[in-house]
Amino acid sequence: MHTDEHRLGLMEKLLDGVEVEWKTLGEVAEILNGFAFKSSNYSPNGIRVVRISDVQKGKMSDKDLKFYPIETKEEIQRYLLKANDLVMSLTGNCGRVAMLSESDLPAALNQRVACIRAKKDQVITRYLFHFFDQISFENDAMSNATGGGQKNMRTRWLASYQIPIPPLHVQAEIVRVLDAFTAMTAELTAELTAELAMRKKQYNYYRDQLLSFEEEGTTKDTKSTKVEWKRLGDLVNTVTAPSKAKKADYCETGKIPIIDQGASYLAGYINEGFEPVASGEYVIFGDHSEHIKYVDFSFVQGADGLKILRPMSDVAKYIYYALQNFYQKELNYKRHWSKAKETLIPIPPLEKQKEIVAILDKFDTLVHSISEGLPREIELRQKQYEYYRDLLLSFPKPEGKA
């Protein structure tokens, strides 16, 4: 854990011999309100309209962009934005900030979005970005917003918000450190995402190769393996769950896991009042969702639409891998079991099934370890950034400042 002494030591070194002034945002920046653009006038291209939905946490969205005709530029001249302008949402998730880049231009400010344009002799825009990107500011913004379901923040309150303003060279050093952490997090995310994509591709390749049997009954490798192609419905028995839990019964923690046809492996947990499916090895098929799972423990079925399949004589996990490989998903919401049970699956001897499962399990473990580790690694880097951001932006307020 970082200590208060470490925190104070870093701050003292950075602020040695300098004075920090507390000023309102209105003193150090110009705050601009947006224009009420009519959605009926949007065009396929032109001037980007920066809306509330475009201001995501710390970044500009690149999805569902809206544009205004370029010929209206003179009409909306005063609402045109500049590169490195800071924009902030005033409605909904009040206080979220993002910075514009050259690639976002030309752009104009929509209503209920504020533009914060720093006075260059007072403050660095990127310093303001890191300051306002703190959770503490978003909490202040939301608690001081008005309205019921849809919160609204007033620019008058924003203009009066007090900010610590150290000298420009100190601001620049703070920005340098925090930008470095931001870049490191982005680089790590890109690297781990690329690694995950490569491992998934490798896993799919080997699954395809290991399960690719020639029609005459041999594999594509050098060993001859006799296989028999059979319908999935002839290989499994359908198990009826003794009880089913409704979504209202799902808990985040509990004694017995819940399996349903959703994308998540576990849907939740339950404690009592429901009889679980007996412990065993099962292949789970989502009748509506087409999600395929392998389960080797006792569980309670969640909701409807679940086909619980128990292989009659083959290795359950081999059937699971083979079904993933040979079942062609339709990707629509209807009942799919009648088609799925007709899926033809190659059945080699049991020893070959176990061999294939052992190889695919190794790749599956690797893929899932990266999948689970990716969010964790990103979260740790984000927390590290947030720690140093809070440390570098925590200035003691002089007496009399609220």
* Count, residues in the chain: 402
- 379 has a pLDDT exceeding 80: no
> Which pLDDT does position 208 carry in this prediction?
83
The CATH class of 228-347 is alpha beta
361 φ, ψ (degrees, to nearest 5): -60, -40
> Which pLDDT does position 155 carry in this prediction?
92
Amino acid in the structure at residue 190: A
Query: Could you tell me if 305 and 289 are in contact, meaning their C-beta atoms sit under 8 angstroms apart?
Result: yes
Query: Could you tell me if 79 and 35 are in contact, meaning their C-beta atoms sit under 8 angstroms apart?
Result: yes
Query: Could you tell me if 39 and 51 are in contact, meaning their C-beta atoms sit under 8 angstroms apart?
Result: no
Q: Decide if 17-166 and 228-347 have a common fold.
A: yes
Q: Is 287 in a helix, a strand, or coil?
A: coil
Res. 337 pLDDT band, cuts 50 70 90:
very high
Q: Please give the DSSP secondary-structure letter assigned to residue 274.
A: S
* Alpha carbons 232 and 346: distance in angstroms, whole number: 10
The CATH class of 17-166 is alpha beta
> Which pLDDT does position 66 carry in this prediction?
92
Query: From the centroid of its chain, how far is CA 235?
Result: 38
> Which pLDDT does position 214 carry in this prediction?
61
* Alpha carbons 315 and 80: distance in angstroms, whole number: 65
Q: Around 181, how many Cα atoms within 13 Å sit in the side-chain half-sphere?
A: 20
* Alpha carbons 102 and 317: distance in angstroms, whole number: 52
Residue whose token pair is 């083959």: 314
Q: What is the pLDDT of residues 128-185, one digit of tens each?
A: 999 999 888 989 999 998 887 788 999 999 999 999 999 999 999 889 988 988 888 7
> Which pLDDT does position 7 carry in this prediction?
47
Both tokens of 91, joined, read 């409605």
| pTM (whole model) above 0.75 | no
Q: How many CB atoms lie within 10 A of CB 305?
A: 18
* Alpha carbons 241 and 218: distance in angstroms, whole number: 38
Q: What is the mean pLDDT of residues 267-279?
A: 92
Burial of residue 95 (number of CB atoms within 10 Å: 0-12, 13-18, 19+): buried
* Alpha carbons 177 and 122: distance in angstroms, whole number: 20
Instruction: Tell me what percent of the chain is helix, strand and coil, each rounded to the nearest 5.
Output: 40, 20, 40
Range with top average pLDDT, 39-53, 188-202, 376-390:
39-53
> Which pLDDT does position 222 carry in this prediction?
36
Domain ranges of the chain: 17-166, 228-347
Burial of residue 70 (number of CB atoms within 10 Å: 0-12, 13-18, 19+): exposed
Q: What is the pLDDT of residues 101-136, one digit of tens each?
A: 898 999 999 999 999 999 999 999 999 999 999 888
Q: What is the pLDDT of residues 183-228, one digit of tens each?
A: 887 888 788 788 878 888 888 888 888 888 765 444 444 345 678 9
> Which pLDDT does position 218 carry in this prediction?
42
Q: 328 CB contacts (<8 Å, ≥6 apart)?
A: 343
User: Which of 75-84, 271-280, 372-381 has the least mean pLDDT?
Assistant: 372-381
Q: Sign of the C-alpha dihedral, residues 305, 310, 312, 318?
A: positive
Alpha helices by DSSP H, listed for 247-294, are none
